[in-house]
Structure 1
């Protein structure tokens, strides 16, 4: 592994803040722990996801072109910062493994090439170390632009716009071992009730994932879509503040 500094196998604790379900969660949402397998999509929500993902990918095309140009220029000025615009690692959504694409924000020397070939998240875990990031990578991370490729996953049907954040295989298995079942029941999303608390002490509290799935089951298809729109509105507020970690 070509790593400039630090322990190449170390995992930043900030990367997995999710906690085990409390006894109160297990009592309140006991019906969710009894479910077997993913919950089917609701058609209005599915249609909305694909429509918005397709439209946003078209709108984001100029941004991606500018970022690619910027990455080329930065790589020319600072050779250690050059490298591909995109990367992926294997993640899990509704219990199924898929390729989660993102925009690269770290220098290639911090990436484990063998782990990258396997789609192992640990190969890219240096992104949590500020000094590992490229100049443009710092900007991209601050405004969550590294998430743009995930609209492609939404369009493919691997993810939804709203739902629990899809975890790497490593973290998904750990989540299950902790007793959480939320991410095995619904598709992962770019935004979720838990994720919009990023940067607060509530980040990682699993109650929000169960609260969302409970509403997923109880609401009408249009009621669920309205809930998603509300979460999206709150998520946009978080993103425009430019506080991506």
Structure 2
């Protein structure tokens, strides 16, 4: 649904505080934790890659153009959880979207493979984004990076999600996740942007580990 106008409650706030010390330590931790994670998780990467190829032969990795900080486009990496022609099939499923607003979600998406259902449930499909974090396209914590076609539907209010570096996990993922619509997700992201701190990031990371062990409705 095209969102051409802002509702009365939507107010555009100023640029977030610079927080130079916070940003320095956040980037430092991103580099250290993503590098350590990639080394330690290498055996798991190999197992998942082989499992995906056995289940649905093809490249076990999937890249997609996403929109990052200040509207910059980048290639985001994931383990492939859908059939190889998933992007082409999406056009046929748009009318079945179960989430209001500028994003697409289906609980029983027919494009998801058997292995894909498992790795999505435990958020294992997101692990290759550690490469994006190491490169600097993403942070460990921040708003989820949207698709360009989603951003095309954004109002100025929604575009405030793009004021900071996007993350692998965030306040939305560890709280409401798929239980809220697009507008409520935006509210959670903007709340994070206004309150972000090392302590909040640490709490979100700890909650992320918890929901990887005990999923909170991912699909």
What's the TM-score, normalizing by structure 2?
0.77
1:105 correspondence with 2:81: yes
- Tell me, yes or no, if structure 1 residue 44 matches structure 2 residue 44: no
Structure 2 residue 62 is matched with structure 1 residue 92: no
Structure 1 unaligned runs (5+)? 1-12, 75-80, 116-124, 217-223
Asked if structure 2 preserves the Cα contact closer than 8 Å seen for 1:127 and 1:133, the reply is no
Indicate the residue corresponding to 1:118 in structure 2: none
Alpha-carbon distance, 1:214 to partner? 1.4
CA RMSD in angstroms, aligned pairs only: 3.1
Tell me the TM-score normalized by structure 1. Answer: 0.70
Q: In the comparison of the two structures, how many residue pairs are matched?
A: 198
Alignment check: 8 A CA contact 2:160 2:190 kept: yes
In structure 2, what is the equivalent of residue 153 of structure 1? Answer: 132
Q: Deviations over 1:81-107 (max 9, x none)?
A: 211101111101112110011111112
Given the superposition, is the C-alpha separation of residues 89 and 202 from structure 1 closer, same or farther in structure 2, using an over 3 Å criterion? closer
**What CA deviation, in whole Å up to 9, does each residue of 1:171-203 have, x standing for no partner?**
12322x363232221010111112222133477
1:151-230 correspondence to structure 2 within 5 Å: 151-175=130-154, 177=155, 179-196=157-174, 197-201=176-180, 204-205=183-184, 206-216=186-196, 224-230=197-203
In structure 2, the residue corresponding to 1:83 is in which secondary structure?
coil
Larger Rg: 1
Stretches of structure 2 that go unaligned for 5 or more consecutive residues are 92-103
1:232 alignment counterpart: 205
Q: Residues 142 and 43 of structure 1: is their aligned pair in 2 closer, same or farther, counting only changes over 3 Å?
A: same
